[in-house]
């Protein structure tokens, strides 16, 4: 027999150590469970579908422009998600994204540099107009922006080409021992460049003259891939990817300072240079070294492979690792806290803003964590995979997915006592107190949601609907799948003559239709002739009564939590449901909706 929870089971209170729903119990509702059933969900400020393949949020500019790159070009969105302008390219390769770089040119104008198959385009960030192009006329087809400053754009074209940022004219060209590898570093008028042949150069950024040159060695036949890793305290750093060795040189004359060998994978530099310190990830171990001498200041063992892209706030470093996040003191390397995302992928710390650490699991969810304690503040699940680390600005995370959707996500816009009460109920204090007070708080808690106001339904004639299928029938009601006169699909219910008087039906349906709450099934149209009927949003996913025996218990728990919050929030509008049963919980678009408000009574 398939189990279907009753109304009593829906609204059951808390027991010691968990919240009972029929024979299912939520336990371990702590911060160690990131996908806890009661965890507050992040709020979608807006979402935009590009319809152009994978979408990646490149960056948020100083001009309040969010740059989104796709295989077909670049779009500039405002903080509200509205498109400001679009620059289209003929990529010829739908599997790849165009690359974008940006720089202030004169303190007032921001230029976006877009790499295309035809060369480089300099785009005015204000309106998307093309300021200049490089590469169209002379047949160049492949350029990589190595670095962009306010005055100069440095391109990797076998060697290095410097373009004037104002008009795109060539300033100088330099041909080292091999192609430049990845990005360059710029500091106080000097450009530091590494090549795929082991060369490491310091160039005068204004004229391209070589200030000094050194060479790194590899144990194999091929020259090592060398990456300019940064500068600090008069030291320039080169990462020998082929050997996984970091080499430090005097920034003025190129004389060797120190080197350190690691067991890191042969990829890009697995670390960062910040405030006289070099942070290097070596497998599961993170070391902080003095930039000047290379001496180890502290060592931290994460117990799992440490990822790149650390973020800093005050005296704490937040770094992703395989399946979690670590907060580490930059003073002495002590662990502040850890958070487990329970995934195999390396988590990415997107940013720290207003006391919240934004973390992307890269596969299924975005998290907001308390920066001081690591406590889960909210979780936002999404479908597919993210394409690039999110951009964080003013408490909102902006990111794109492989499916082409761009999201703007923030934390809940109101209190979250539902989750907080669960944490108390299942914590040591809650268990010691018998869980009664915490259980009472849990039953009354809610998570505020928002829904845009829909236009009021207009009365029409029952006969105007094209009835397709009789879905359900009882002595009190007939339910059809039907189409409106405009062709939209709805659920069309017609009540028996003796169920409700027309006046009572009209009052109930008007109360239902006036609810402004996400999670309420929308009323589309209704009428009282020849007897009361209502057309509501079609829920293609069926009801919880139909699906309860097929859903995992964790998913049922999530639905129950959502329904409890919907009912509580609507109660604040002084509307009660009347008869909440699994048959009135419907699914559309993967989300739960509650139907039959006031009518079910």
| pLDDT tens track for 154-177 | 998 878 999 999 999 999 999 998
Q: What is the pLDDT of residue 564?
A: 82
Band (102; pLDDT cuts 50, 70, 90): low
Do the beta carbons of residue 134 and residue 168 sit within 8 Å? yes
Look at strands 523-527 and 235-240 and give their pairing: unpaired
The mean pLDDT of 213-240, rounded to a whole number, is: 88
Residue 79: pLDDT above 80?
A: yes
Is the pLDDT at 95 greater than 80? The verdict is: no
Residue-level pLDDT at 396: 92
- For residue 220, what pLDDT is reported? 67
Higher pLDDT, 97 or 503: 503
How do residues 23-57 score in pLDDT, each as one tens digit?
222 322 334 444 555 568 888 999 999 887 888 88
Q: Would you state the pLDDT for residue 561?
A: 79
What is the reported pLDDT for 25?
28
Stretch (H or E) spanning 406 = strand 405-410
- Helices 553-571 and 417-426 pack at an angle, to 10 degrees, of 130
Share the mean pLDDT of the chain: 79
- 310-411 carries CATH number 3.30.420.10: no
Give the per-residue pLDDT at 559.
Answer: 83
pLDDT grade for 343, boundaries at 50, 70 and 90: confident
C-beta of residue 477 within 8 angstroms of C-beta of residue 495: yes
For 18-142, where are the E strands, in sequence order? 18-21, 24-26, 43-49, 56-60, 66-70, 73-77, 83-88, 99-104, 110-116, 119-124, 130-134
Q: Which residue has the higher pLDDT, 206 or 341?
A: 206
Given this model, what pLDDT does residue 442 score? 38
Q: What is the pLDDT of residue 512?
A: 84
Q: 63 versus 560: which is more confidently predicted?
A: 560
Residue 108 has pLDDT above 90, yes or no: no
Rounded distance between C-alpha atoms, residue 205 and residue 207, angstroms:
6
The CB density around residue 587, as the number of other CB atoms within 10 Å, is: 18
Q: Is the Cβ–Cβ distance between 524 and 538 less than 8 Å?
A: no
Q: What 3-state DSSP class applies to 328?
A: strand
Residue 287 has pLDDT above 60, yes or no: yes
Query: For residue 10, what pLDDT band results from cuts at 50, 70 and 90?
Result: very low
Confidence class for position 297, pLDDT limits 50, 70, 90: very high
* 571 vs 468, residue with greater confidence: 468
Q: Binning pLDDT at 50, 70 and 90, where does residue 554 land? A: confident
pLDDT at 601: 55
Nearest CA among 12, 38, 25 for reference residue 553: 25
* DSSP type of residue 294: -
Among 566, 431, 16, which residue's Cα sits nearest to residue 26?
16
596 pLDDT exceeds 50? yes
Distance between CA atoms of residues 274 and 268, nearest Å: 17
Put simply, whether the predicted model's pTM sits higher than 0.85 gets the answer no
- Helix, strand, coil shares of the chain as percentages rounded to 5? 10, 45, 45
Residue 530 preceded by cis peptide, ω within 30:
yes
Average the pLDDT over 406-428 and give the result.
61
Tell which wins on pLDDT, 120 or 452.
Answer: 120
Exposure of 531 in the CB half-sphere (CA atoms within 13 A):
12
More confident residue, 88 or 323: 88
Domain boundaries, the chain: 7-40+419-444, 310-411, 462-594
Mean pLDDT to the nearest integer, 384-390: 85
Where does the pLDDT of residue 18 fall: very low under 50, low under 70, confident under 90, or very high at 90 and above?
very low
Ranking 83-92, 412-421, 573-582 by mean pLDDT, the lowest is: 412-421
Compute CA 495 distance to the chain's CA centroid, rounded to the nearest angstrom. 45
Higher pLDDT: 449 or 568? It is 568
Per-residue confidence at 213, pLDDT binned at 50, 70, 90?
A: very high
Please report which confidence band the pLDDT of residue 261 belongs to, taking 50, 70 and 90 as the band edges: very high
* pLDDT at 237 > cutoff 90: yes
Non-local CB neighbours of 240 within 8 Å, separated by 6+ positions: 198, 216, 218, 224, 225, 226, 246, 247
The more confident residue out of 357 and 462 is 357
Walk across the sheet containing 391-393 and list its strands: 43-49, 405-410, 396-400, 391-393
Question: Is the confidence at residue 365, as pLDDT, over 80?
Answer: yes
Task: Give the side-chain half-sphere CA count within 13 A for 415.
Answer: 10
- Could you tell me which of 459, 381, 356, 337 has the C-alpha nearest to residue 30? 337
Q: Do the beta carbons of residue 409 and residue 42 sit within 8 Å?
A: yes
CA-CA distance, 278 to 437, in Å (whole number)? 50
Q: Which range, of 196-205, 252-261, 589-598, averages the lowest pLDDT?
A: 589-598
- Per-residue pLDDT of 112-148, as tens digits, reads 888 877 788 898 888 899 999 998 655 555 778 888 8
Q: What is the pLDDT, as a whole number, of residue 106? A: 54
pLDDT at 97: 54
Instruction: Report the pLDDT averaged over residues 524-551.
Output: 84
CATH for 462-594 is 1.10.510.10
Is it true that 310-411 and 462-594 share their CATH fold? no
Q: What is the pLDDT of residue 360?
A: 92
């Amino acid at each position: 027999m398939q189990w279907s929870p009753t109304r009593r089971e829906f609204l059951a209170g808390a027991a010691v150590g968990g919240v009972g729903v029929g024979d299912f119990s939520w336990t371990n509702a702590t911060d160690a469970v990131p996908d806890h059933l009661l965890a507050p969900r992040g709020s979608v400020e807006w979402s935009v579908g590009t319809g152009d393949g994978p979408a990646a949020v490149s960056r948020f500019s100083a001009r309040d422009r969010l740059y989104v790159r796709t295989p077909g070009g670049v779009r500039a969105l405002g903080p509200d998600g509205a498109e400001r302008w679009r620059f289209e390219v003929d990529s010829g390769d739908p599997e790849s994204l165009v690359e974008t770089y940006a720089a202030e040119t004169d303190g007032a104008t921001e230029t976006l540099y877009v790499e295309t198959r035809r060369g480089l385009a300099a785009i005015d960030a204000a309106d998307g107009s093309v300021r200049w192009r490089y590469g169209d006329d002379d047949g160049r087809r492949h350029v990589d922006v190595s670095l962009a400053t306010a005055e100069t754009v440095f391109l990797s074209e076998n060697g290095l080409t410097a373009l004037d940022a104002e008009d795109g004219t060539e300033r100088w060209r330099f041909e080292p021992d091999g192609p430049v590898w990845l990005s360059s570093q710029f500091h106080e008028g000097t450009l530091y460049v590494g090549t795929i042949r082991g060369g490491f150069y310091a160039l005068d950024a204004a004229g391209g003259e070589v200030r000094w040159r050194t060479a790194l060695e590899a144990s194999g036949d091929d020259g090592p891939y060398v990456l300019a890793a940064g500068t600090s305290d008069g030291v320039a750093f080169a990462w020998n990817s082929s050997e996984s060795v970091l080499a430090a040189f005097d920034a003025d004359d190129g004389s060797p300072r120190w080197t350190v060998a690691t067991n890191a994978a042969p990829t890009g530099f697995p670390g960062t240079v910040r405030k006289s310190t070099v942070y290097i990830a070596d497998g599961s171990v993170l070391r902080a070294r003095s930039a000047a001498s290379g001496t180890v200041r502290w060592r931290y063992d994460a117990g799992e492979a440490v990822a790149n892209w650390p973020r800093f706030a005050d005296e704490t470093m937040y770094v992703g690792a395989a399946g979690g996040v670590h907060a580490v003191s930059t003073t002495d390397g002590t662990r502040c806290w850890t958070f487990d995302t329970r995934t195999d992928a390396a988590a990415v710390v997107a940013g720290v803003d207003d006391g919240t650490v934004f973390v992307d699991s890269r596969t299924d969810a975005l998290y907001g964590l308390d920066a001081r304690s690591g406590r889960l503040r909210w979780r936002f699940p999404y479908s597919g995979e993210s394409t690039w680390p999110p951009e964080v600005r003013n408490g909102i995370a902006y990111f794109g997915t492989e499916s082409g959707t761009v999201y703007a996500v923030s934390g809940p816009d109101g209190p979250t006592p539902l989750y907080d009460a669960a944490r108390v109920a299942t914590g040591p204090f809650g268990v010691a107190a018998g869980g009664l007070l915490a259980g009472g708080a849990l039953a009354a808690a809610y998570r505020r949601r928002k829904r845009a106001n829909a236009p009021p339904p207009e009365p029409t004639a029952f006969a105007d609907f094209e009835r397709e299928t009789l879905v359900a029938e009882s002595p009190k009601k007939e339910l059809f799948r039907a189409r409106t006169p405009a062709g939209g699909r709805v659920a069309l219910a017609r009540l028996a003559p003796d169920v409700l008087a027309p006046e009572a039906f009209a009052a109930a349906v008007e109360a239902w239709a006036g609810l402004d709450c996400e999670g309420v099934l929308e009323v589309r149209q209704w009428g009282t002739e020849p007897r009361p009927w209502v057309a509501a949003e079609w829920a293609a996913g069926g009801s919880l009564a139909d699906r309860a025996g097929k859903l995992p218990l964790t998913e049922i728990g999530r639905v129950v939590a959502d329904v409890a919050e919907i009912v509580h929030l609507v109660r604040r509008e002084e509307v009660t449901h009347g008869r909440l049963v699994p048959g009135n919980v419907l699914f559309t678009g993967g989300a739960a909706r509650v139907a039959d408000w006031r009518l079910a009574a």
